[in-house]
């Protein structure tokens, strides 16, 4: 198998193994889409220049095409008014012959107890530019209501669908990271299986002087850490981190400890 397909397969496997962000009936009035997370072969090329979110949508599409209960009607539907884009529907499918509008999300969130007053609002993006609660609000107030706009109704009529008969669901997977200083935080609302690692600041990095490091490509943030990568030592890693910190960008890295165990870690700039 060519390396490009091996890389895609590892990303697909990591995606499949990522749990849904919640496994209760709903959170914030949003309902998760249910599908068997079966590992299959991914034997198609994907443009590696895609943003991670769009890359994940291609993985989901491949997953759906393998499921006999699902028929994809259309994907990435631009809803426009006089050539001005109002928004996009990620996916329209038939699930057991019933129409479903699906929004697909894959995120990386870090737990910061200084932000917000509850569990949902404590989770923020690695660079503090986004947050889980804002994403949930956007889904609830903007992305899902788009289905009922007059412009969307017109599109749905063109493919013989009635928006009042379309169920709306969320396909929301996430990797969650706890602070290095408190890795035993217990989640009450979100799926604790989504916790895959922790985050450290530049001072806490000093605890890993005897470790090895790997800085994966952004698309490889999906991948479950493994040993078959190029590792660098502490000094090399710290030198590479200078430009990341100057740009106020928190990279994901793999840390191989002296005992051989590999941790998935964000090094934060803040």
For the stretch 171-220, pLDDT in tens is 999 999 999 999 999 999 999 999 999 999 999 999 999 999 999 999 99
Instruction: Show the tokens assigned to 245.
Output: 């910190």
Judged on CB neighbours under 10 Å (0-12, 13-18, 19+), 73 is middle
Position 15 scores a pLDDT of 98
Which of 91, 82, 84 is closest to 64 using CA atoms?
Answer: 91
Mean pLDDT of 29-38: 93
pLDDT at position 243:
97
* Mean pLDDT for the chain overall: 96
Q: How far apart are the first and last CA of the chain?
A: 41
Please say if the pLDDT value at position 70 is more than 70.
Answer: yes
Model confidence pLDDT, tens digit, residues 212-269: 999 999 999 999 999 999 999 999 999 999 999 999 999 999 999 999 999 999 999 9
pTM: 0.96
């Amino acid at each position: 198998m060519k390396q490009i397909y091996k890389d895609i397969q590892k990303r697909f496997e990591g995606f499949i193994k990522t749990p849904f962000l919640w496994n209760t009936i709903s959170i914030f009035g949003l309902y998760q889409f249910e599908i068997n997370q079966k590992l299959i072969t991914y034997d198609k090329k994907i443009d590696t220049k895609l943003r991670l979110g769009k890359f994940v949508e291609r993985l989901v599409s491949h997953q759906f095409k393998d499921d006999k209960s699902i028929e994809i009607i259309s994907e990435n539907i631009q809803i426009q008014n006089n050539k001005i884009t109002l928004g996009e529907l990620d996916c329209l499918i038939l699930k057991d012959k019933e129409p479903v509008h699906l929004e697909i999300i894959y995120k990386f969130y870090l737990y910061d107890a200084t932000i917000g007053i509850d569990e949902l609002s404590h989770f923020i993006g690695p660079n503090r530019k986004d947050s889980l609660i804002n994403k949930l609000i956007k889904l609830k107030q903007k992305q899902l209501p788009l289905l009922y706009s007059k412009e969307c109704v017109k599109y749905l009529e063109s493919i013989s669908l009635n928006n009042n008969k379309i169920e709306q669901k969320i396909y929301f997977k996430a990797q969650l990271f706890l602070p290095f200083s408190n890795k035993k935080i217990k989640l009450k609302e979100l799926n604790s299986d989504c916790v895959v690692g922790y985050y450290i600041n530049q001072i806490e990095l000093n605890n890993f002087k005897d470790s090895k490091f790997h800085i994966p490509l952004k698309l490889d943030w999906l991948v479950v850490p493994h040993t078959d990568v190029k590792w660098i030592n502490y000094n090399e890693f710290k030198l590479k981190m200078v430009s990341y910190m100057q740009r106020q960008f928190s990279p994901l890295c793999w840390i191989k400890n002296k005992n051989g165990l590999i941790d998935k870690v964000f090094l934060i700039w803040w």
